[in-house]
Structure 1
């Protein structure tokens, strides 16, 4: 097969397609560290960097003159090396506090919360207590997190205020004179309710507000807080990074407090955390009766009012914080990006990742509204399995006339059964590659790595607030395999550039159930159903876009199609949707169904609207166990499909006769993919993302299927075009002549060095080096085998096959470099040998062997394994790995 060089935009992708990375500063680096780090980032193939101060850095260093001077140096160095900069806007995260600078000398901007409690009247009186106000959300950060969030490390409360109270069952409010404080202190308050006209056992509730006097967090309801944040944080950072393309906000955080007396024996648990509070909410449509329903109500009327409360509440937060940031950025000619709290992170179900909190109380949940303030879309992804983040991000962008997104990829220890902050120092380059490819295929333009570390981060200073070694590890650049990362990052950047043009072929819309989320108690059914649909559609190869209700307007339906900014859809899926906001939406969906559109639903037979429960649509319901079956029965086989599941395929239409196709074998087994026959003659041209060349085109006759053979974790990208002739193309061959079988096992005679300077020792190749005396070694393991009197059996090429490896591997034969692999299986074509072969393998493992034992973390040899795990062999023909 001949190869042809492809366009420059594919060979050398622009920075917008290249991997980005947070650069963690656990202390102020030296100028020389900065120079070396930026040069290494360029060598690795990164496109964009974001400096981020971490908890190990003393707060006094953040935004200090020395800090800003180093930022200016990094800005200059990045420009010199052709890297772009985005400005991470926080110390740690929780955008808005600015390391405490926003609320410094401005106590009225500190977080202020609404608390409630209830009880039964006896003889016209009841005494109610709010105490033990606590947030467990940050407990995984330990004492360092408390010191970061609070002056003195503990929350102290004051400026107590009675907001109102009332009778739970009737929405009747009490007079202000009937509610008084009998005690207030830094830990809570005691409230006395006097209502002599009410009978015994009347259930009453009270709402009080207080400010956390020691908190560095802001009240996101106040535009002044965001204005002060921009003045104290954005302005100096933009001056230090004058050519940055955007500011990046991260996870604005609303406290998530719980307290003793929160439920007071009531059955309702409608809102699980305190709300941020400002009296201005009382002038925007929220009153005490609404709060009674929102917190304690259980009927449909109460659910509607709860949705009203959260709509008003979130709109004020979004406008006050994100709106203020966006106006500042527009005025200073810089973009605004970043991501809010995403409780689905790490999975598919909408509340499945952070189910212990009530995400409605934070700036978020209405992701489509939040995205309207951004100039670029970013979502958050946790750990290394398929999840919702990328397709959601792309859907948000398309709803606002943009395309694709950045996905922040971070690592927790939870995936491996260890504490979150311990992270994944055992992350392999193969697992990282697979996750990055998944993100790109599902709608990401690039991945943002979390994170690069300073070189001395693995040598902690005991005086630090936190141990940088276990700050969401890994520090990717400290992994032994980082030297092998450039080829991977180049491959992924080319994949992204390849998929930039054209329009994704998606005719299915998955409805985002915002109203159900707003109305619901605990975790509503829609959160689970949405995730089941999203995952099952993706695995079945049915491409889809997530849409929100605001996109469905009167003019969007035509002959059974929804014509939206984000695409054209003949199928709409309602995942356990019981309610929409606008009754007009129900009419539009009814018209869509009646004119030929396909309306699928699960979990709820009836959908009503928030403020008109008499309006409804009904339809057949699918149970959760039937979703996968229904998808298979409803949608025809795709143009290109992989045998079995999951499907990892995306198609981009450039013209009616030209498609771009990317396909990824997301498994450890060889698989085949079938291109369905078509009435036209077609040409299949492979663009190699790993080498930036095009293979000789393949001619596919009309009415002929074509089969692709995919190695484990193989990525293939093609242009498929319709043609009327087949000049200079290779036709599909039904039969291939194979050489006589030959296989030589190489199970004996290997020697091993734990690094280039160590003494060579014999080693077995059936198990990792940890089981052979090198359990604490991280670095380059060198395997060497001498073959004398080697007799070549045929003239056909021979392959060195490595059936199972843990780590990246480079092959040298007789002193010559042959190639490398990042996967856990590999095959290399051997050069024409003499009678003597000297085979050398350099295997880069992870740094887990060095770091985790230092924390007394037991290492399972089935997981923490490095090197050759099955005997290599020499084989002829196509390298099939068994």
Structure 2
């Protein structure tokens, strides 16, 4: 029968996979329309056009480019797809491909630099030199993207502040009486690369000076993100042309704007000192923010921010400065983008720079950039300027991004997050930035399911390629082939297998949408500790250790920030049992302490690790927190018992033995029914039982529902299974009703692109009938395997034929075809024979494969599997007494063709069969 949820059977575009569409040259109309249709056929229902570095920047947003964008939107409209407006060239919102600053030099990015000058008899000299752009590590192509001539040059130097103290820097008080303004005694002489500073005639008693100067880059393509005029100019140059080209599709096919890492470049220089790790974008109002804190503390605030002082009063001023800075930059930049989007009926999405991609520990990535200068690292604050929460994620590993994104969305009254996913890290020995053309669909799928279970609504893949590049240029990003690969559509498995993956992802997302939040542990985002102590240190180490342990232990958890403490105390997270403060040293005020006391009084235990509270931002006296300190984060194996909380799914599934790698998401939907999602993310089978009765299994592959007669389950590695409790035991109402209610709660942004009709549901079920049989065989595999009368390991003579017209070569089925075809990428067919004395049913399992697989027996196709478990039920009528031929076609990755001869890989990557196939013969049904 069809599952009784129309949105599950026919998912909408908001839950289906999306992609960046990388353009490498100006396309013609046929190429545009053809590739949009390819996306649609592969189950991709949404895209964003993104002109990459190989695309001539001078052609970006020109009439021909915009005409091509319109063709793309028109084709998407015909296919009922959704388009997002990706708002800049390559990435990094804020330049319009360099167009924003042409003829507007005064709007180019301006940065604050500083240095310490030791004084003797009121005089001293210093300099700002050796300025290094954070873009340099990306290579020459990226430098040409950011700068005229590929070189950052500077102009319009000016002294912003010059302050001095009588003693050492650490002895300086946060009282303005201890910090003296010496700007009148300070002089500057500058070139286009450096500045010389001198102080003469200052008070002879002064011993140490801190001089802050600013300069505007005369060659940068980025606007000054703190200058309101510059942001307006960016919108004029980058947004308005797109509106003029396709604005009649705004609000229908074109649904949202996506900003990507909006920031100025980060610079370092030889004389940098103090606690701020890189240059700070500056406008005339930036340092004047300190005056809003009080005229009497103005000089002390500047000293507190840009020196190394740890005086508690100075730390309070530092936190206040970064809060002002974050609010100014968010309102001045993101606020303007949001207002433009809303004016024209578009939703706002996108993400800022995230320091935790590919890991659970913030501060791990972009460690050379001080991201307090990027909206203060206030991720919860940024979300107030979005309609759709978004994050980015790197590589196929469990990580913080989807959990944090969903947590941020919930804090602003929504659920779920968009995850921009790329696979950048090469295998061991590979050259950095060379990417991952060796991606298999199994790895992509496992990553996708992991993200969904952690809070992802939709994956945006990075990316769908216009071309696969060329072979003789190995420079990162200059050659499209090595610009954040893989281009998913040039993977050999894409055309035949991606659609099934996309359908499963969309149905899983729809299945999870109606679930209530079950977080039992709340992990505190230590924002003000970041403002006072930077983006690396004990607070991030503690946060990352807790996040990883909670994820590994399978405990339902969520990230919260200081703004939500009072609401938590009032019971907004009814399942919460524990609140963890990781390395928290600074809070806003006594009101936060009072909220923590109320949380504790409400029965939610407050725990802390690392440093204790030292500073309140408002300068009030600190008092003890109502927190139980722990010496260290408990090991994941004992974490649930240590915290006295349940694991995800404890109310829905009980493992009967080892369950390493088992991931569970369970909860109650809006109609009161239990939903349980089980995914075996490990390498060994997991056994257990569903808790309760009258469950129905919903098949993500088909949209069909089957009554479950035995609650005992065995999940093979890679298996995903979804269950819904029967209405008679868990509640009343239909799942379709609950899904509609969830859409209402989440906002109109996630309303279905079109209502799924009964006819479309029936059509989907009919089209999936063949897959249904394979799914049932998979579900019953444990029983069939245990009843097998004969097990054959097919490790004998095999040959391999590259497709479409290669010659067969002998091959070892346990080693991968790269041992005999080291530079071959694509599909290849393994063949051998086996003998049967009697005909019976059979199951063929492939224990280990690098790629996706299709099985034929005696010339007839049995089925195909894009990912684990690679098993096939062989109908008895396809087998015969005597000799039987088995043919297994494996669709590998593009790695060994694209990396061959480049020196970017030390050896060919695995492709094909990596273990001998196993044949399980089962008794005939007729006895």
Scaled by the length of structure 2, the TM-score of the pair is 0.87
Distance 1:607 1:596, change over 3 A: farther
Report how many residues are paired.
842
1:175-214 to 2 correspondences below 5 Å: 175=181, 178-199=184-205, 202-214=207-219
Matched, 1:162 2:173: no
Task: Report the counterpart of residue 622 of structure 2 in structure 1.
Answer: 614
| 1:194, distance to aligned residue in structure 2 (A) | 2.3
| 1:21, distance to aligned residue in structure 2 (A) | 0.2
| 1:744, distance to aligned residue in structure 2 (A) | 2.0
| 1:422, distance to aligned residue in structure 2 (A) | 1.1
Task: Report the counterpart of residue 150 of structure 2 in structure 1.
Answer: 153
Among candidates 297, 303, 327, match of residue 315 of structure 1: 327
1:421–1:473 Cα contact (<8 Å) kept: no
1:630-683 alpha-carbon deviations (Å, 9 max, x no partner): 44322245223553434411123115741111111101211124445xxxx622
Among candidates 276, 284, 296, match of residue 279 of structure 1: 284
| 1:838, distance to aligned residue in structure 2 (A) | 2.4
Distance 1:34 1:745, change over 3 A: same
Distance 1:396 1:790, change over 3 A: same
1:252–1:363 Cα contact (<8 Å) kept: no
SS at match of 1:128: strand
| 1:82, distance to aligned residue in structure 2 (A) | 1.9
Among candidates 698, 713, 718, match of residue 687 of structure 1: 698
Among candidates 630, 646, 668, match of residue 653 of structure 1: 668
User: What are the ranges of 5 or more consecutive residues in structure 2 without an aligned counterpart?
Assistant: 292-297, 732-778
Distance 1:6 1:359 in 2: 47
Among candidates 545, 548, 555, match of residue 561 of structure 2: 548
Matched, 1:292 2:311: no
1:809–1:821 Cα contact (<8 Å) kept: yes
Distance 2:559 2:506 in 1: 25
2:890–2:912 Cα contact (<8 Å) kept: yes
**For the aligned residues, what is the CA RMSD?**
2.6
2:468–2:490 Cα contact (<8 Å) kept: no
1:26–1:57 Cα contact (<8 Å) kept: yes
1:115-163 alpha-carbon deviations (Å, 9 max, x no partner): 110121122210111111112x323321111111011111111111111
Task: Report the counterpart of residue 866 of structure 1 in structure 2.
Answer: 911
| 1:337, distance to aligned residue in structure 2 (A) | 0.6
Distance 1:504 1:187, change over 3 A: same
Matched, 1:446 2:443: no
Matched, 1:530 2:581: no
Distance 1:255 1:181 in 2: 27
Task: Report the counterpart of residue 255 of structure 1 in structure 2.
Answer: 265
2:278–2:368 Cα contact (<8 Å) kept: no
Among candidates 792, 802, 806, match of residue 744 of structure 1: 792
1:623-638 to 2 correspondences below 5 Å: 623-626=631-634, 628=636, 629-633=638-642, 634-636=644-646, 638=650
SS at match of 1:418: coil
1:727-806 to 2 correspondences below 5 Å: 738-739=786-787, 741-772=789-820, 774-787=821-834, 790-792=836-838, 795=840, 797-806=841-850
1:569-602 alpha-carbon deviations (Å, 9 max, x no partner): 3321111112211210101211221342211221
Among candidates 589, 594, 599, match of residue 592 of structure 1: 599
Task: Report the counterpart of residue 768 of structure 2 in structure 1.
Answer: none
1:412–1:419 Cα contact (<8 Å) kept: no
| 1:347, distance to aligned residue in structure 2 (A) | 0.6
Distance 1:871 1:570, change over 3 A: closer
Matched, 1:234 2:231: no
Q: Which has the higher contact order (CA 8 A, sep 6+)?
A: 2
Distance 1:868 1:521, change over 3 A: closer
| 1:502, distance to aligned residue in structure 2 (A) | 3.2
1:507–1:568 Cα contact (<8 Å) kept: yes
1:455-604 to 2 correspondences below 5 Å: 455-458=467-470, 466-483=478-495, 484-521=497-534, 523-553=536-566, 556-558=568-570, 562-563=571-572, 569-604=576-611
Distance 1:380 1:469 in 2: 21
Task: Report the counterpart of residue 124 of structure 2 in structure 1.
Answer: 126
| 1:714, distance to aligned residue in structure 2 (A) | 0.7
SS at match of 1:626: coil
| 1:4, distance to aligned residue in structure 2 (A) | 4.8
Moved more, 706-715 or 56-65: 706-715
Distance 1:129 1:283, change over 3 A: closer
| 1:725, distance to aligned residue in structure 2 (A) | 11
User: What are the ranges of 5 or more consecutive residues in structure 1 without an aligned counterpart?
Assistant: 264-268, 700-705, 727-731
Moved more, 531-540 or 629-638: 629-638
SS at match of 2:591: helix
| 1:356, distance to aligned residue in structure 2 (A) | 2.5
Distance 1:583 1:44 in 2: 55
| 1:43, distance to aligned residue in structure 2 (A) | 0.8
Task: Report the counterpart of residue 381 of structure 2 in structure 1.
Answer: 369
Distance 1:604 1:718, change over 3 A: same
1:284-433 to 2 correspondences below 5 Å: 284-286=289-291, 287-296=298-307, 297-363=309-375, 365-413=377-425, 416-433=428-445
Distance 2:681 2:22 in 1: 31
Task: Report the counterpart of residue 225 of structure 1 in structure 2.
Answer: 230
Distance 1:301 1:216 in 2: 39
| 1:685, distance to aligned residue in structure 2 (A) | 1.2
Distance 1:479 1:736 in 2: 35
Distance 1:464 1:594, change over 3 A: closer
Distance 1:280 1:432, change over 3 A: same
Distance 1:240 1:571 in 2: 52
Distance 1:87 1:416, change over 3 A: farther
Distance 1:249 1:417 in 2: 34
1:665-676 to 2 correspondences below 5 Å: 665-676=680-691
Task: Report the counterpart of residue 703 of structure 1 in structure 2.
Answer: none
1:679-727 alpha-carbon deviations (Å, 9 max, x no partner): xx6222111111221122336xxxxxx542110011111112474699x
Task: Report the counterpart of residue 66 of structure 1 in structure 2.
Answer: 64
SS at match of 1:530: helix
Moved more, 834-843 or 603-612: 603-612
Distance 1:812 1:81, change over 3 A: same
Distance 1:323 1:462, change over 3 A: same
1:821-843 alpha-carbon deviations (Å, 9 max, x no partner): 22355211112112242221111
Among candidates 74, 77, 80, match of residue 76 of structure 1: 74
SS at match of 1:843: strand
Task: Report the counterpart of residue 702 of structure 1 in structure 2.
Answer: none
SS at match of 2:356: coil
1:535-593 alpha-carbon deviations (Å, 9 max, x no partner): 2112222112211111223x6524xxx326xx653321111112211210101211221
1:38-83 alpha-carbon deviations (Å, 9 max, x no partner): 1110110001000000111111110011100000101101111221
Distance 2:919 2:287 in 1: 77
1:811-826 to 2 correspondences below 5 Å: 811-823=855-867, 826=870
Distance 2:810 2:368 in 1: 52
Distance 1:608 1:800, change over 3 A: same
Moved more, 76-85 or 868-877: 868-877
SS at match of 1:318: helix
SS at match of 1:450: strand
Structure ranking higher in strand proportion: 1
| 1:855, distance to aligned residue in structure 2 (A) | 1.2
1:609–1:615 Cα contact (<8 Å) kept: no
SS at match of 1:615: coil
1:121–1:204 Cα contact (<8 Å) kept: yes
Distance 2:455 2:316 in 1: 34
